[in-house]
Structure 1
Amino acid sequence: MRHPPHLPAFLVTAAFALLATAVPPLVTADAAEPACTVDYAVTGDWDTGFQGSVTVTNNAAALSSWRLGFDFPGDQKVTQGWNAKWSQTGKSVTAANENWNGTLGTGASVTTGFLASYGGTNAKPSGFTLNGVACNTDPGGPTDPPDPGTGPPALHAEGNKLVDAAGATRRMLGVNRSGAEFMCVQGYGIFDGPVDDAAIKAIADWKANTVRIPLNEECWLGLDNIKPEYAGANYVNAIKDLVKRVEAHGMTPLVELHWSWGQYTGNSAGCSDIHASCQKPMPNARHTPAFWTSVADTFKSDPAVVFDLFNEPYPDRATSTAAEAWTCWRDGGTCPGIGYEVAGMQDLLDTVRATGARNLVLIPGIAYSNDLSQWLQHRPTDPLENVAAAWHIYNFNVCNSESCWNSQLAPVAAEVPLVAGEIGENTCTHGFVDRVMNWFDERDLSYLGWTWNTWDCSSGPSLISNYDGTPTAYGIGLRDRLRALNGK
């Protein structure tokens, strides 16, 4: 899918209307105190309502504006607030700074209050975030492996199957968790919605075993066009923490490069911006190798983490022939129609392996990852032979029928593991993805639904209407399939 910039809910409509020379140093991060801490208290309670107080302390870089988020567990509803601009959608509550109290320095605190109604129990809210970053949580990386029996398997390719360390065949079945690719570059935070333990448990409750995490190249590398609070070590720590939470619930984390640097204004351009604010036709040679060196260094000691090299290449839209597109895809360099030097799939795979990382690597096709017709002929060489083909499918893609899947996908799936990294449809129903899942289930192949976010399904395929896991009419198809396959 050619994804538009997925803005926060109040900017989705606007998003659809849009339908530094030196290589930066590598980013590393050590375990640290929580990026923010929250003290929540009920200061008054009566039969049908209560008064609450929330104090948030910023432990990270100074903020010029802030936004506190949390989820009520019951039917609590904010009716009035002070010292912040309060809003609520479903169970999700947001308190944004007023014009006079937006600055929040390192170590500084701000207290806000509210009145709310409720009819059941008045349990404490959860999933506190500050500008999208989880609070009251150690943001350090996965320095310790998950407890035996609870963590995900370390997957690797064996022939055309994914297998675990014991040689048992596995499938990657789960969801995409969008947000970290766009919130930071747009200046709103790091994640779109909560990513605390309760939010990740809700994904696991669907019986998903894999979570794909889209990333932003410039935010990870900490380039100077990104707000410092959402860049570099702050961003890396937040991603490491999310990976750790996904693993703690027994699910495989799949990290992928979604948005990258490089100006492209040709056919099907998603934006004219040189920065990583939309999907580009190919990764770039200036920053992407540095990104993958840093990501691979960060996770190479954790074989359960899977790498997805680039979201949706589309050099075919820039070049005049399929031969030129596939050569650009594999070899990079100077590609027709693309104005920056390209890093090809072989370049990026070599970059990952040069770090010593032995993790499973997914390599997408062209035409927004929907075309695998010449994937085998141009397959990058991996000394470890630990790669899989990545494919994306939506009802509006070209290869959207069983006849195309039989002719184009089946030969690839006979040679290497095949993972549908994104499946979805823009109909607010699940009839098309049911067909996709049927075809993949018959062949014991892997697929991941787009996306675990609470957007309006008519503006983008959204699996849920609430981060507690309430499915949309579209998402219920994937939820029921995962539970049928992996147990309720």
Structure 2
Amino acid sequence: MRHPPRSVLLAVTGAVALVGAALVPVVSASGATPACTVQYTVTSQWDTGFQGSVTITNNMAAVSSWSLGFDFGGGQKVTQGWSAKWSQSGTTVTATNESWNGSLATGASVSAGFLASWSGSNAVPTAFRLNGTTCNVDSEPTPTPTPTPTEPPTGGSAPALHVSGTKLVDAGGTAHRLLGVNRSGGEFMCVQGYGIWDGPVDDAAIKAIADWKADAIRIPLNEECWLGLSNVKPEYAGANYINAVKDLVARVESYGLTPILELHWSYGQYTGNSSGCSDVHATCQKPMPDAQYAPSFWSSVAGTFKDDQAAVFDLFNEPYPDRATSTATQAWQCWRDGGTCPGIGYEVAGMQDLVDSIRGAGARNVIMIGGLAYSNDLSQWLTYKPTDPAGNLVAAYHGYNFNTCASESCWNSTLAPVAAQVPLVAGEIGENTCSHAFVDQVMKWFDDRGLSYLGWTWNTWDCSSGPSLISDYSGTPTAYGVGLRDHLRAINP
């Protein structure tokens, strides 16, 4: 939904060159395993800056926190980073773990990325230190790690989910429908500088949703806030934002509800047909996710929640490359494959790229993928369905009374064939009438086929501009929201 409230690729068009071969080799004079190894990679470089990553492998005793140090020799300067707390003093760079990736068992690895400036030369660092021990060379595992508190296990009482045929099922094989609400705020508050959530997300607020007999909450997110990019206030970005999301997910699951984490607003400048804003930053809905940050976002989210099979991932809110391209074939190819898409000025990450990022991080979680026309068009979803080695893909549809595909005849012709082959979830349903006649029709059609749906949105906005399900966060429904509440209570007494 386009609700109230970047590609100048780091300001150098066409200057980025992939240089992923710039790796630091592991050196061991005697052939023994080093105490730790670090692989340093320059993933892209342009005339004033570059993007890099480090992959750390701990071969010592297990640690519950880590700090990596290395020195730049060419005047480079780290400007921002993700999956670690990055700092630099003179030439010395330090990356320390986030709260969610501090534990490193013997043989375990962790990755983090950064952006940096450079001039003159971009020499690769030659020495790395993990908790004071020199890596990539023979070394005794002598340092004593500083312990950190153990985080509570994730999962709560929410069911672990996977795809079985055309159904979502729990660990015991019982079919499970996602019936609930969207909880907007995490996509816009942080980038607008007001906070992280729009309204309360405490126990009382989640209990109010559960009291509607909902079993799922879709949580829109912002990639710049998650990655802690410099245009977002630090108090609402990076570790602070990630921890807030983790806390909310844990709270949602403790009430037995499924959290659906969704990339809503993203980087990339688009000023073409149906543009929501001219800003390069993640301040509105873009036609497609960007190749610059979206894969890193999903790799990080997946790494954070890969041990929590109750969490579901929704790749991208409402793709609309069809508004930018001249043919449906171009639009669907852009949707799946990304790259240089007609009508879109930034490099696009296709849905296959994002699936690969999630699976590459080791996560097997269920993945929802919306179609074209703001996720309203699934007509060629099966033809262009990405490949998933985990077999856990779900089609996502958004339906509002003002959309093109908003009738039973359209649902029969375009949604039913999809639902006959993969699970189908209506990630957003709603109407701008301040009533519920349309969502009643949607719910009946989806109920008759055992499918899932979530109402937009659990926020106290005006129902015609939101549309909003509630008038207060104790769960008092609007004239629109009462339809969903009463229906959920009727089918889940």
TM-score, structure 1 normalization: 0.73
1:63-78 aligned within 5 A: none
CA contact (8 A) 1:463 1:471 kept: yes
Give structure 1 regions of 4+ aligned residues with deviation exceeding 4 angstroms.
none
Matched, 1:393 2:399: yes
**Partner secondary structure for residue 166 of structure 1:** coil
In structure 2, the residue matched to 1:22 is 51
Equivalent position of 1:317 in the other structure: 323
Deviations 1:410-467 (A, max 9, x none): 0000000000000000000000000000000000000000000000112111000000
Aligned to 2:292: 286
Q: Is residue 453 from structure 1 mapped to residue 482 from structure 2 by the alignment? A: no
Distance 2:239 2:457 in 1: 26
Residues 81 and 229, structure 2, Cα contact 8 Å, conserved in 1: no
Check the 8 A contact 1:142/1:240 in 2, yes or no.
no
- Is 1:362 the counterpart of 2:379 in the alignment? no
Partner of 2:338: 332
Decide which of 442, 450, 461 is 2:448's aligned counterpart: 442
**Structure-1 separation of matches of 2:487 and 2:151:** 30
The aligned counterpart of 1:221 is 227
Offset of residue 26 of structure 1? 3.0
Unaligned residue ranges in structure 1 (runs of 5+) = 7-19, 33-139
Q: For residues 449 and 399 of structure 1, what CA distance do their matches in structure 2 show?
A: 17
Counterpart check, 1:257 vs 2:326: no
Partner of 2:424: 418
Following superposition, the deviation at residue 30 of structure 1 comes to 1.3
2:213 aligned partner = 207
Q: What residue in structure 2 maps to residue 155 of structure 1?
A: 161
1:144 aligns with 2:144: no
Match of 2:358 among 323, 346, 352: 352
Q: Is the 8 A contact 1:364 1:391 kept in 2?
A: yes
Q: Could you tell me how far 1:146 is from its partner in structure 2?
A: 4.9
* Aligned mates of 2:217, 2:211 — CA distance in 1: 13
Deviations 1:155-183 (A, max 9, x none): 11111111111011110000000001000
Q: Which residue of 2 aligns with 1:43?
A: none
**Is residue 458 of structure 2 the alignment partner of residue 402 of structure 1?**
no
Identity %: 72
The offset of 1:291, in angstroms, is: 0.3
Give the CA deviation at 1:142. 6.7
SS in 2 for 1:199: helix
Instruction: Tell me which amino acid in the other structure corresponds to 1:215.
Output: L
SS of structure 2 residue aligned to 1:363:
strand
**Are the aligned partners of 1:372 and 1:409 in contact in 2 as well (CA < 8 Å)?**
yes
| Cα 1:21–1:335 shift into 2, 3 Å | farther
My pick for the range that moved more, 156-165 or 266-275, is 156-165
1: distance between equivalents of 2:448 and 2:490?
14
User: What's the counterpart of residue 25 of structure 2?
Assistant: none
What's the offset of the Cα at 1:143?
3.6
Contact 2:82 2:238 in 1 (8 A): no
Matched residues in 2 for 1:27 and 1:467: separation?
A: 33
Q: Match of 2:488, as an amino acid?
A: L
Matches of 1:409 and 1:30 in 2, distance apart?
A: 42
**Inter-partner Cα distance in structure 1 for 2:151 and 2:457:** 25
Q: Could you tell me how far 1:144 is from its partner in structure 2?
A: 1.1
C-alpha distance in 1, partners of 2:228/2:492? 39
Q: Is the 8 A contact 1:207 1:482 kept in 2?
A: yes
* CA displacement, residues 207-228 of structure 1 (integer Å, 9 cap, x when unaligned): 1000000000000000000001
Separation (CA, whole Å) in 1 of partners of 2:188 and 2:456: 15
Q: What is the CA-CA distance between 1:379 and the residue it aligns to?
A: 0.3
Indicate conservation of the 8 Å contact 1:142/1:243, yes or no.
no
Unaligned runs of at least 5 residues, structure 2: 6-48, 53-79, 85-97, 102-148
Judged with a 3 Å threshold, the aligned counterparts in structure 2 of structure 1 residues 141 and 366 are, in CA distance, closer, same or farther, namely farther
Q: Secondary structure in 2 aligned to 1:388?
A: strand
Partner of 1:238 in structure 2? 244
Question: Contact (CA 8 Å) 1:260, 1:279: kept in 2 or not?
Answer: yes
- Structure 2 residue 170 is the aligned partner of structure 1 residue 172: no
Judge conservation of contact 1:4–1:278 (CA < 8 Å) in 2. no
CA deviations 1:355-400 (Å, max 9, x no partner) are 1101000011010000000000000000111110001000000000
2: CA distance, partners of 1:232 / 1:275: 16
Partner of 2:426: helix, strand, or coil? strand
**1:373-384 matches, cutoff 5 A:** 373-384=379-390
Q: What SS is found at the alignment partner of 2:51? A: coil
The C-alpha deviation readout for 1:26-63, integer Å capped at 9, x for no partner, is 3253179xxxxxxxxxxxxxxxxxxxxxxxxxxxxxxx
Measured in 1, the distance between the counterparts of 2:411 and 2:442 equals 9
How far off its partner does 1:141 sit? 10
Q: Distance in 2 between matches of 1:141 and 1:187?
A: 31
Q: CA deviation at 1:22?
A: 3.1
What one-letter code is carried by the residue in structure 1 that aligns with 2:51? A
> TM-score, normalising length from structure 2?
0.72
